Structure 1
Amino acid sequence: MEKKNVLLVDGYNIIGAWGELQRLKKHQLADARDLLIERMAEYKAYMGWRVIVVFDAYMVPGIEKKKRTHDVEVLFTRENETADERIEKLVSELGGRRVQIHVATSDLTEQWIIFAQGALRKSARELEIEMREITNLITKSVKNFEEQRPVSKIDLTDEIKEIFEKWRRGMK
Structure 2
Amino acid sequence: MKIIFVDGYNIINSWPTLRDIKEYSYETARQNLIDYMQNYSSFKGYKIFLVFDAHKVKGSIEKTEKVGNVIVVFTKEGETADSYIEKSVNNIGRKTEVEVVTSDSLEQQVIFQRGAIRISSLEFYHKLKSMQEEVTSSYKKHKFSKKNPLEDRIQKNVLEELEKMRRSH
TM-score (norm 1): 0.82
List runs of 5+ in structure 2 lacking aligned partners. Answer: 163-169
The equivalences for 1:73-152 within 5 A come to 73-97=71-95, 99-150=96-147
Q: Alignment partner of 1:52: what SS?
A: strand
Give a deviation string over 1:31-62, Cα, whole Å, max 9, x none: 10111111111211222111110000147662
> How far apart, in 1, do the equivalents of 2:68 and 2:57 lie?
20
Residue aligning to 1:170:
none
> How far apart, in 2, do the equivalents of 1:88 and 1:28 lie?
28
Task: Assess if the C-alpha contact under 8 Å between 2:3 and 2:97 holds in 1.
Answer: yes
Task: Assess if the C-alpha contact under 8 Å between 1:60 and 1:76 holds in 2.
Answer: no
Residue aligning to 1:20:
17
How far off its partner does 1:109 sit? 0.7
> How far apart, in 2, do the equivalents of 1:145 and 1:88 lie?
42
Task: Assess if the C-alpha contact under 8 Å between 1:57 and 1:78 holds in 2.
Answer: yes
> How far apart, in 1, do the equivalents of 2:140 and 2:56 lie?
39
Equivalent pairs: percent with the same residue?
Answer: 36
> Which segment is superposed worse, 141-150 or 53-62?
53-62
Q: Which has the higher contact order (CA 8 A, sep 6+)?
A: 1
TM-score (norm 2): 0.83
List runs of 5+ in structure 1 lacking aligned partners. Answer: 160-172
CA shift in 2, pair 1:138/1:118, >3 Å: same
How far off its partner does 1:90 sit? 1.0
Q: How many residues matched?
A: 156
